[in-house]
Amino acid sequence: MDQTGRSDAAARRIAKLIEMGRDREAAELAVTPEHLATYPAQPTQGEPMQVLDQLDQLGPLLAGVVGGIRPDQLANPTPCAKFTVQGVLEHMIGGATRFTAAFCGVEPSRPDLSDVLTNFGPTLTGLTTVMHGPGALGRTIAAPFGQVPGDTFARFVVLDGLVHGWDLSTATGQPYHPTDELVTEVQAFADQAVEPLRDGDTFGPAVQPPPSATPIQRLAAFTGRKLV
């Protein structure tokens, strides 16, 4: 069977699993290296941005946004369904704590949620440091949706962080200007990987953005956020 045939067969199998309510199995299939390899290559200009370079661009963006959040804004609602600003920060700290342990191959510790504004930076820096470590991206990571290669999971980390940064900036009235190059790379990955994970929680149904939407707004809408 040629590559197109494999892609069509995989897509049909994922669709069938979702139809049967077996979302987790669909997600596990979607993020295997074999399945990701069947997606059509995304057109790029020049060399694609490596995932660690994406991570290095993301870090200062998140630090800037979180550094600008006032304590009285923690209860603000965000475009991420069911989450306040406090909830997004707790989610990101908890995720970073688990992901750091996963990239190290150890059991995770309990995340420190006692002061989310203070603890966000050190926790995310710890994750970034580990992901830059020798062999980290070559590990197999026990993700919430199955076993995936470290390099692939790193791309989910960047996708999650980039969109949550937009959630936080929108909720607190701050500017948020990731480069078009970064957003284009993350959008290309999202186009490949998000569809089977649309469970209404991890990712909601895609929202149609207005013609005037910026690249980051289009990415946010693709992940189910309503633009406000």
CATH number at residue 149: 1.20.120.450
Give me the domain span that covers residue 104: 50-222
pLDDT band per the 50, 70, 90 thresholds, residue 204: confident
Both 21 and 94 in a single domain? no
Both 10 and 118 in a single domain? no
Q: Does residue 110 lie in a domain region?
A: yes
The reported pTM is 0.80
- pLDDT for 35 beyond 50: no
Q: Are 172 and 76 in contact (CB under 8 A)?
A: yes
In angstroms, the Cα distances linking 204 to 75, 182, 220 are 22, 22, 11
Both 211 and 172 in a single domain? yes
Question: What are the start-end ranges of the E strands in the chain?
Answer: 140-143, 146-149
pLDDT band per the 50, 70, 90 thresholds, residue 46: low
User: What's the rounded Cα separation, in Å, for the pair 154 and 131?
Assistant: 8
Both 35 and 64 in a single domain? no
Both 196 and 161 in a single domain? yes
Six-digit token string for 42: 């995304």
Average pLDDT of 194-210?
85
Q: Does residue 26 lie in a domain region?
A: yes
- pLDDT for 153 beyond 60: yes
- pLDDT for 143 beyond 90: no
Q: What is the pLDDT of residues 84-141, one digit of tens each?
A: 999 999 999 999 999 999 999 899 999 999 999 999 999 999 999 999 999 999 999 9
- pLDDT for 178 beyond 70: yes
The total of structural domains in the chain comes to 2
Q: Which of 18-27, 76-85, 186-195, 196-205 has the lowest mean pLDDT?
A: 18-27
> 152: closest CA among 44, 27, 32?
32
Both 60 and 127 in a single domain? yes
Count of alpha carbons within 13 angstroms of residue 72, beta-carbon side: 0
Residue 9 confidence (pLDDT): 47
Average pLDDT of 21-45?
42
Six-digit token string for 93: 């700290």
User: What's the rounded Cα separation, in Å, for the pair 148 and 34?
Assistant: 11
Both 64 and 30 in a single domain? no
> 214: closest CA among 181, 186, 189, 177?
177
User: What's the rounded Cα separation, in Å, for the pair 187 and 131?
Assistant: 21
- pLDDT for 195 beyond 50: yes
Q: Does residue 13 lie in a domain region?
A: yes
